[in-house]
Amino acid sequence: MVSRKYLFNVIIRLAVVSVTCFFLCLSFLLYPNYSVIIILSGLFIIQIISLIKYLNSINKKLENFFLFYLSGEVTSSNVRRDKKDEFSSLYHYFDQINDKLEQARLRNEIQNNYFKTIVDETAVGLISFKTDGSVELFNEAAKKIFGIQVLRNLKKLNNIKDGFSDMLINLESNDRKLISLIHEGELIQLATKKVKFRTMNEELHLVSFQNIKPELDEKEIESWQRLIRVLTHEIMNSMTPIVTLIGTIGKKLRRKNQKELIKPKEVTSEIVQKTVKGLDLIDSRGKGLIHFVQNYRSITRLPKPEFQVVNVKELFQRVTQLFEMELEGTGIELKITSHPSLFMNADGKLLEQVLINLVKNAAEALDGVEDPVIELAANSNQDRMIVKITDNGKGIPAELMEDVFVPFFTTKQKGSGIGLSLSRQIIRLHGGSMTVQSTPGSTVFTIKI
């Protein structure tokens, strides 16, 4: 609505301009006096300019308001004036608009904070980036996964894995991919998915990362257990030819009625040769199969842990005493770092077997290393016991990190390949986990129970 005062001022100014114009015309026509004409012309010009400025004043106020709005500086003090001003109603509407804009800004800010909190608190790593690799979003979970606090460009991820940035950029939208990384000596396996979307005139890529290594480890053990049961069944079935061979030999040593044995004088050299050959075959194959089956069963038929309170330092000392004779003359230093008052609820005998396996592997890894050291260390963290077995050997090659816990995988000439998989399963029976970190000069097996 137009203010009455504003309308009244416009009418008065128009009336004054009209009167001045009337007298100016009258001076020209009836009383030509140059001094009067000049004075009236000056007044007329001043009045016209004043009227134009007055008419433009409301436009100026609107312009100022929108400039403040565009600059984000709209406040009540910017637009509020004296209530007696002829534009008081306009200021009133300005205030209402300002209040609504402020409410919208607050709602937008609250919503942004809400979504930011969700993004930061989610356990899934998120990276949003432009096609040129510049990063727009890098949430807390992603920082933990990659061990990076600030990421401005994807190229920084190439320090973790060669060509990682190009892999993410070229990943197809809605594609799922499993990416294996060795980060800080530890294997992580990331389930990755990418989506593309547009904001304004820009195309953005959003990639989600979830470390599913623990779930894969669980499934891996279950798969191996199933496989072992199947293989055991198949191996036992393969004993059938041996049994058949025994039956055949028995038939040769019995009469046709299968009740009476043939007499010694009826035993020909051919029967003896075939019998001895068959027995040798049975002996050789039987021993091999029994040894193979026993190795499999050692993993699938672990005894249930008998939990009791175990003094960690005493456990370490028992293990080191077992290796005193074996390590004598090797130059390997076996250190213990543990407080005497550290206790844990576990099966001492099973844990002792795990530590023996790990120390034995560490000792073998130190062959040819200067100043070889094996350290057994323990500390408690948030009601969990953390045990670390560290050596300063050559380390585990990155390409073998994925296989070290796989049953029957071994790089040793006479190794069985069940030590680490057996140890990990023992720890899982305790409700814990066992991981490995390895770099040249340092290998750490970490047990958390």
| C-alpha dist (Å) from residue 270 to 130, 168, 246, 260 | 84, 73, 16, 20
**What pTM was computed for the model?**
0.50
Report which residue type is found at 355.
Answer: L
For the chain, which residues score pLDDT lower than 50? 1, 76, 82
- Contact predicate 437/446, CB 8 Å: yes
Site of tokens 């009740």: 259
Write out the two tokens for 241.
């030819």
Q: If you count them, how many residues does the chain have? A: 449
| Whole-number pLDDT of residue 100 | 84
pLDDT at residue number 355? 93
Query: Given CA atoms 135, 139, 141, 143 in this order, what sign does their dihedral have?
Result: positive
The one-character DSSP state at 304 is: P
In the chain the domains, ranked by start, together with CATH numbers, are: 4-107 (no CATH), 122-211 (3.30.450.20), 217-300 (no CATH), 308-448 (3.30.565.10)
Residue-level pLDDT at 214:
76
Task: Write out the E strands in 274-372.
Answer: 308-311, 333-337, 343-346
